[in-house]
């Protein structure tokens, strides 16, 4: 009998949500995605310190910003030697509200990959799903630079991404779950909000159904999982990016798994079409307390880790 991980692979593209090369080798994901927090954690481990030391040795006089980008690309190149598909590399979260700076930084990252012999088709540039980040993605996509829009918590963000023709979005399941659980406090009923009833699962399912009902080619990659029940409830989603500990739980389980999300079902119950522009985007996002708070919180957290990575590199530069 197949493991749940094997069953999931038959329904969904499995992506490793880690900067750990050994975990990627063990679980054989198709793609891999990283973020500033994962890279910061990795470079503090002895196993990965040589990557950072090599970047500083080979480019000692480069500006700090360039050294950081070279470090991200060095990680990406190592990852692409392991996975057969794509790697996501994130633009500095401090640029989340600066469209032009995000575009330039993304071009720089892609240029470094191409000089390392990596085709741009194997790289996804990650940007925050702010209005500015989405408009940067619109420009980049038109240049053939594929984008992964992250920190996405609501349908209005997803619709704006679709209109920008982004390659992939990463709606966050676990962080939505966290918000509703915290908001409910002592009144939270875990059993009543498990699996398909999980608010994070429902958000991703809503986005998936909208995209498939209207033949939107942007791929949906559920992200930020807290338990395998959330993953099971999204079986059939285009992609799911999963941490090593949850991948191991799936690999250890032989429970049967069937697709919950399907194109036919999405088309059978097509949601109403929604137009989107900047005013509608900002208004609807502002009306959604969860999405507004989690977007801001995510940017702050990634920004804090970007500063920590800067400090670490600066110290090693001497």
- Give the tens place of pLDDT for each residue, 201-214: 999 999 999 999 99
Domain count across the chain: 1
Look at residue 74 and tell me whether its pLDDT is greater than 80.
Answer: yes
Query: What phi and psi values does residue 201 have, to the nearest 5 degrees?
Result: -60, -45
Going by pLDDT thresholds of 50, 70 and 90, the confidence category of residue 97 is: very high
pTM of the model: 0.95
SS3 at position 90: strand
CATH number assigned to the domain comprising residue 236 = 3.20.20.70
Q: In the predicted model, what is the mean pLDDT of residues 282-289? A: 97
β-bridge partners, 220:
169
CB atoms within 10 A of CB 224: 24
CB atoms within 10 A of CB 101: 16
Q: Which domain holds residue 304?
A: 4-317
Active site residues: 126
Dmax of the chain from CA atoms?
Answer: 62
> Do residues 90 and 35 lie in contact, with contact meaning Cβ atoms separated by under 8 Å?
yes
SS3 at position 222: strand
Residues 6 or more apart whose Cβ sits within 8 Å of residue 291 = 153, 154, 156, 157, 285
147-178 tens-digit pLDDT: 999 999 999 999 999 999 999 999 999 999 99
pLDDT at 245: 96
pLDDT at 42: 86
288-308 tens-digit pLDDT: 999 999 999 999 999 999 999
CA–CA dist 95, 98 (Å, integer): 5
């Amino acid at each position: 009998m197949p493991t749940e991980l094997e069953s999931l692979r038959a329904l969904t593209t499995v992506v490793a949500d880690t900067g750990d090369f050994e975990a990627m080798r063990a679980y054989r994901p198709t793609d891999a995605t990283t973020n500033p927090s994962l890279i910061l954690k990795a470079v503090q481990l002895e196993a990965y310190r040589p990557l950072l030391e090599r970047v500083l040795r080979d480019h000692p006089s480069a500006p700090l910003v360039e050294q950081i980008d070279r470090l991200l690309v060095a990680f990406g190149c190592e990852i692409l030697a392991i996975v057969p598909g794509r790697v996501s590399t994130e633009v500095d979260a401090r640029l989340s509200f600066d469209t032009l700076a995000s575009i330039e930084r993304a071009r720089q990252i892609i240029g470094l990959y191409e000089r390392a012999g990596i085709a741009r088709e194997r790289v996804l540039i990650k940007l925050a799903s702010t209005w500015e980040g989405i408009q940067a993605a619109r420009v980049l996509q038109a240049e053939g630079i594929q984008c992964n829009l992250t920190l996405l918590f609501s349908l209005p963000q997803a619709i704006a991404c679709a209109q920008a023709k982004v390659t992939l979005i990463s709606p966050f399941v676990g962080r939505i779950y966290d918000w509703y659980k915290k908001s409910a406090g002592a009144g939270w009923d875990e059993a009543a909000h498990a699996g398909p009833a999980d608010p994070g699962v429902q958000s991703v399912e809503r986005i998936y159904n909208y995209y498939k009902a209207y033949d939107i080619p942007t791929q949906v990659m559920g992200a930020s999982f807290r338990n395998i029940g959330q993953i099971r409830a999204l079986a059939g989603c285009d992609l799911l990016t999963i941490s090593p500990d949850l991948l191991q739980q799936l690999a250890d389980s032989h429970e049967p798994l069937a697709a919950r999300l399907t194109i036919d079902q999405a088309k059978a119950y097509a949601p109403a079409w929604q137009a989107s522009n900047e005013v509608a985007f900002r208004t609807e996002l502002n009306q959604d307390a969860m999405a507004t708070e989690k977007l801001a919180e995510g940017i702050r957290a990634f920004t804090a880790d970007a500063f920590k990575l800067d400090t670490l590199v600066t110290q090693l530069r001497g």
